[in-house]
């Protein structure tokens, strides 16, 4: 078919328009044809501003981010999603896999990613979700700001949306998380994940703002990060295996915690956790294990807290198997065993800095206290320890003195 002027431009334009419209329906914008991703060292770069994102700090850029992700995820070869310098607000975003792009796909954040300030934008229970992606690198030096103050006032009735990640073979580094509405980072149903050099900050009184939470995760390393929030700096939940937490600076917050375990009937066992070379400053808890009353019958075993420094910590060493005991009368059925607290030193603001309060239904087995040296901060008097329902062994120096287990 020839246009009236005798040329073929109209036919070409119609074909391009038809293809572009089909691509638009499949989630790839027309401007990708006019502005293909630039390539850097063989890697295709998908800049979110090329997909309509506006760096004004107020526009909801969720659709633009999702379009850029789909283009990167479905591309051939190496791909990078780029959030450049600037203030980019966004509501609920799902970066969904699996991806066709060459592994690993990169998400590089240079600017500030801000939560959209309308709470009704979060209908799916999450803010930004990385879901079912095998092979990912998240980096860039930028900031992820949850603007949590808009929802913290409702925390008694509903947790704020977290930033959940469901990945395999992923690395996350050199990012800053600020003021999440809920958990800052939640890694679940994932394996082979490395998390390092993060800075996570929220006010000490902000509710349910755990720094990093794991559940149903295997082979995860969390290292070399600074975390201060209104809840646990790091919390390790059920279904986790072979976890390393190392060189974390924690405070303010509720400490480095195993649990809570046993809240839900579908929870599964935990095995193989090492928390080592960490420092806690001004936290309510230090090395903590917590389980619910009236729990399912599960196990948590092979847990090591070692080389931990405490500064002005209220409960430096604590096992609490009586979580939610006012509403749940039945003892916890989470069986704790092979638990080690080694080389823990520093200061405390509590007269009883070592508390081992285990379940009478399933007493703790194989609990070791080795080389513990905790001193009082301020005029609080001599320190003591408390223990119930635990089979305890002592090695090396112990200050406060060994508890008598009831």
CB atoms within 10 A of CB 392: 19
Give the CA angle between residues 49, 51, 53 to the nearest 5°: 45
Q: Are 274 and 236 in contact (CB under 8 A)?
A: no
Residue 303 corresponds to which tokens in the numbers above? Answer: 């847990």
Beta bridge partners of 374: 346
Q: Are 236 and 258 in contact (CB under 8 A)?
A: yes
Q: Are 18 and 24 in contact (CB under 8 A)?
A: no
Query: Which residue among the candidates 213, 238, 254, 293 is catalytic per the annotation?
Result: 254
Task: Measure CA of the first residue to CA of the last residue in the chain; give whole Å.
Answer: 93
Question: b/e for 296-317, b at 16 or more Cβ within 10 A?
Answer: bebbbbbbbbbbbbbbbbbbbb
Strands (E), 204-255: 212-228, 234-236, 241-250
Please give the backbone phi and psi of residue 73, each rounded to the nearest 5 degrees, phi first. Answer: -65, -35
Residue 22 CA to residue 39 CA, distance in Å, equals 25
Q: Is 254 a catalytic residue?
A: yes
Residue 185 CA to residue 31 CA, distance in Å, equals 33
Pairing mode of beta strands 234-236, 93-96: unpaired
H helix or E strand, kind and range, residue 23: helix 9-25
Calculate the alpha carbon distances from 208 to 140, 310, 341 in Å. Answer: 26, 22, 26
Using the structure block, give the residue that is written with the tokens 């799916």.
Answer: 124
3-state secondary structure of 336: strand
Catalytic residues: 254
């Amino acid at each position: 078919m020839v246009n009236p002027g005798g040329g073929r431009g109209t036919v070409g334009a119609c074909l391009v328009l038809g293809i572009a419209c089909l691509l638009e329906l499949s989630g790839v914008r027309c401007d990708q044809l006019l502005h293909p991703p630039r390539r850097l060292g063989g890697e295709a770069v998908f800049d979110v501003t090329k997909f309509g994102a506006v760096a004004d700090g107020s526009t909801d850029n969720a659709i633009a981010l999702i379009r850029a992700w789909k283009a990167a995820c479905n591309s051939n070869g190496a791909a990078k999603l780029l959030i450049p310098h600037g203030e980019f607000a966004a509501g609920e975003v799902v970066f969904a896999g699996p991806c066709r792009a060459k592994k690993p796909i990169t998400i590089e954040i240079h600017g500030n990613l801000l939560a959209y300030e309308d709470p009704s934008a979060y209908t799916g229970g999450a803010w930004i979700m990385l879901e079912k992606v095998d092979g990912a690198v998240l980096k860039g030096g930028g900031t992820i700001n949850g603007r949590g103050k808009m929802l913290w006032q409702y925390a008694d009735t509903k947790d704020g949306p977290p930033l959940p990640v469901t990945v395999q073979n992923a690395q996350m580094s050199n990012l800053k998380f600020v003021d999440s509405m809920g958990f800052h980072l939640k890694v679940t149903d994932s394996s082979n994940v490395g998390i390092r050099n993060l800075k996570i900050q929220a006010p000490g009184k902000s509710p349910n703002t755990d720094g990093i939470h794991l559940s149903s995760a295997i082979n995860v390393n969390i290292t070399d990060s600074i975390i201060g929030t209104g809840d646990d700096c790091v919390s390790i939940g059920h279904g986790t295996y072979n976890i390393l937490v190392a060189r974390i600076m924690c405070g303010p917050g509720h400490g480095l915690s195993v649990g809570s375990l046993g809240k839900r009937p579908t929870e599964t066992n935990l095995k193989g956790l090492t928390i080592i070379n960490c420092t806690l400053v001004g936290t309510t808890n230090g090395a903590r294990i917590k389980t619910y009353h009236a729990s399912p019958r599960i196990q948590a075993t092979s847990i090591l807290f070692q080389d931990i420094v405490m500064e002005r910590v209220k409960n430096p060493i604590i096992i609490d198997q009586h979580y939610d005991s006012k509403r749940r009368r039945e003892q916890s059925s989470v069986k704790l065993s092979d638990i080690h607290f080694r080389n823990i030193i520093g200061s405390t603001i509590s007269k009883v800095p070592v508390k081992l309060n285990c379940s009478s239904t399933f007493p703790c087995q194989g609990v070791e206290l080795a080389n513990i040296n905790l001193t009082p901060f301020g005029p609080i008097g001599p320190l003591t320890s408390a223990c119930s329902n635990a089979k305890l062994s002592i090695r090396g120096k112990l200050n406060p003195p060994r508890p008598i287990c009831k």
